[in-house]
Structure 1
Amino acid sequence: MPPFIIIASTRLTVGLISSLLNILTNLGVVVWDLGLTLFNLVAPLRPADRVVPAGCPGAGGRWPEYIPPKEGDSRSACPGLNALANHGLLPRSGRNISFRQMNAAIRSTFNFAPTFCFFVPSYMAGLLGKSYWTDTLDLSDISVHNGIEHDASLTREDTSESPHQGEPCERFINELLASGTGPGGNLTVADLSRISGKRRTEAKSNGQFTLSAFHKLFGSSNSGTLLTIFGGRVQDLRPILLEERIPEGWQPRIRNPAGLTLTAFQPTVLGIELGIEEEAS
């Protein structure tokens, strides 16, 4: 058999095996997530002031020192990940972070479910052509356009307007925080739908606007964390989004012992996305 046929056959086999493993992994995550969701239905909630496990940074609301990034540090389009680095829960440089290290920090800090904490870094790894199990990344790596980062963000300018996706857009964030109509001015599902529709309409004018159906849902997922993990509370979101700092005394608003599962998260995401109205360009 000619060598080029052997090479092509080998590559095809490896590709099929990889695809099969991905399917089995995703099925396993779905089953695992459903089990955690059912467990949360019957398990008692954690005390509001003791959501972060004892012995972990942030237990009792006592967070490690906040130090803003210095020149040369790597930051991403995700305020939550940047906050982890700013508090030393991930390497403060934002560089050479393993995906498994990211998983553990997200889990203990924000009380996302283990499935959530595995799936998102694993997706990032695949997007970057890296191995979740053995490779590392810099935070700026995940700001690749139309990967995790996307146009019409509520906290970042579009890449066509600003290449610095690690920097919060104060104007957008202040508008977001001022849009709350809930008790005390807190954010609601309807608020996030309305402000997302406004951002998408405005962003269409940038001349290079792209926003696939997938990234629309991803954007609504990002918005959904503001309502779930942070309870829509503007007082907490202000330092998180503007300074990328965890407020002293803060604890995740999701108190279920298994954390926020992918299954339980979907109604919030769909509620935001289905309520978005975009004006025609």
Structure 2
Amino acid sequence: MGIGQKLTKPFYDLFVLIWDTNIAVVNLILPQLEPGHVVPADAPGHGGKWPEYVPPRDGDSRSACPMLNALANHGVLPHDGKNITFRELNTVVRQSFNFAPSFCFFVPKFAADFLGRSYWSDKFDLADLSKHNAIEHDASLTRHDVAQAPDQGVPDQELVDELLNRATGKASDGTPLLTKRDLSLQLSKRRVEAKQSNSAYTESLFHNMFGSANSSTMLTIFGGRVNDLRPMLSEERFSGDWEPRVLSRFGLTMAAFNFTVLPVERGVDTKALEVQG
């Protein structure tokens, strides 16, 4: 991050905080979106109708984030995952997943900053977002650590199955749901395992919170539904007729998101597992 970016960052952060809080309040007042109309009518995925899924080809760029990879696999982002503008990412993520505008500005802006690029004018490849200890971090729920698995664009099926098989909740139709407790337990297990197996393992409060935030999208955007999460995490594709589970008029704010993220992180208990081990 350049000197100019460092000087302006506090102002951007304050602006986003105020913006996000205002959106959260408005979401409490206005009626929710109707199911089937969460993705805008002029955007890919409206009514659950996503463009055709095409697995990544040799030379395509993919990240450590299954949701972004799915957007590329369906051609909502460029299929090769290259030369994407940060502003394009903002728009596509907002329309596809119903994150609030404040959220969709903050995360791409954060990504641009840690890559040393301009949010307003520069481009990136999806693989760039896997820069270690920025958004990508050790003890992921769907990838082994970069020291053991350098290609973070590919999910680890064993880890995905282990996560989804942990689901203890049930939807109204009887299908399995991941819960906050399930995520906390799996995050605890992954942090202990990664620390034991990876001599280069690093951990900080920031990375732990980011890990819980990444995981919590499974509970918010996907409603914890294992039947939707399995194709997303395994093949990085949308299940048939899928749409975001967040129905807030202006999308999921960071303020609302924290009501899921903080309990998930508070539920992580690595010490108990270390004692058992």
TM-score range relative to shorter protein: over 0.9
Aligned to 2:236: 244
- Give the residue type in structure 2 aligned to 1:256: S
1:145 and 2:132 are equivalent in the alignment? yes
Checking the alignment, whether the CA contact within 8 Å between 1:51 and 1:252 is kept in structure 2 is yes
Alignment of 1:46 onto 2:46: no
Q: 2:102 aligns with which of 112, 115, 118?
A: 115
Match of 1:188 in 2: 179
* Structure 2 letter corresponding to 1:199: R
State the distance in 2 between where 1:246 and 1:233 align.
12
TM normalised by structure 1 equals: 0.93
Quote how far apart the aligned CAs of 1:118 are.
0.4
Q: Where do 4+ consecutive residues of structure 1 move more than 4 Å?
A: none
TM-score, normalised to structure 2's length? 0.94
Find the aligned partners of 2:29 and 2:68 in 1 and give their Cα distance: 31
Alpha-carbon distance in 1 for matches of 2:53, 2:158: 23
| Number of aligned residues | 267
Instruction: Give, as a single letter, the amino acid of the residue that structure 1 aligns with 2:104.
Output: C
Written as runs of structure 1 = structure 2, the 5 A alignment for 1:82-121 is 82-121=69-108
Using the TM superposition, give the Cα deviation of residue 141 of structure 1 relative to its aligned residue in structure 2, in angstroms: 0.5
Distance 1:48 1:188 in 2: 22
Q: 1:191-202 to 2 correspondence within 5 Å?
A: 191-202=182-193
The answer as to 2:222 corresponding to 1:235 is no
Of 155, 163, 169, the match for 1:168? 155
Identity among equivalent positions (%) equals 53
Who is 1:260 aligned against? 252
In the TM superposition, residue 217 of structure 1 has moved relative to its aligned partner by: 0.2
Unaligned 5+ runs, structure 2: none
Match of 1:55 in 2: 42
Amino acid at match of 1:196: L
Q: Partners of 1:55 and 1:149 in 2: how far apart? A: 32
Cα RMSD for the two superposed structures = 1.1
1:18 Cα shift? Answer: 3.8
Contact 1:178 1:185 in 2 (8 A): no
Superposed CA deviations along residues 65-110 of structure 1, whole A, max 9, x for unmatched, are: 1100000000000000000100111110000000001111100000
2:268 counterpart of 1:276: yes
Stretches of structure 1 lacking an aligned partner (at least 5 in a row): 1-13
Aligned-partner Cα distance in 2 for 1:136–1:91: 12
Q: Which amino acid aligns with 1:224?
A: S
Q: Distance in 2 between matches of 1:188 and 1:155?
A: 17
Aligned partner of 1:152: which letter?
Answer: A
